[in-house]
Amino acid sequence: MLTPLRGLERDGLVTRTAFATIPPRVDYELTEQGRSLHEPLLTLASWARSQQGYIEASRNTFDARSSAP
């Protein structure tokens, strides 16, 4: 789980704040650039929902071909 967060930090999409407490605590927060992804991701999610039937049918077709002798 931490590897993707480190990648997002490296890309400038999140900031990481470590606290020297016991137990250790780390907070992640979206940067302004990270927050700018909100609308594009909503658009992508909406598209994925609208295509769900097509995607499921395509997967079923593919799986049927793949499992045939």
Tens digits of residue pLDDT in 12-68: 999 999 999 999 999 999 999 999 999 999 999 999 999 999 999 999 999 999 887
Pairing of strands 25-30, 14-19: antiparallel
pLDDT on residue 31: 98
Report the distance separating Cα 43 and Cα 51, nearest Å: 12
pLDDT band at 1, cuts 50/70/90?
low
Q: What is the DSSP letter of 29?
A: E
Confidence band for 3, pLDDT divided at 50, 70 and 90? confident
- Helix, strand, coil shares, percent, the chain, to 5: 60, 15, 20
Q: What is the pTM of this model?
A: 0.67
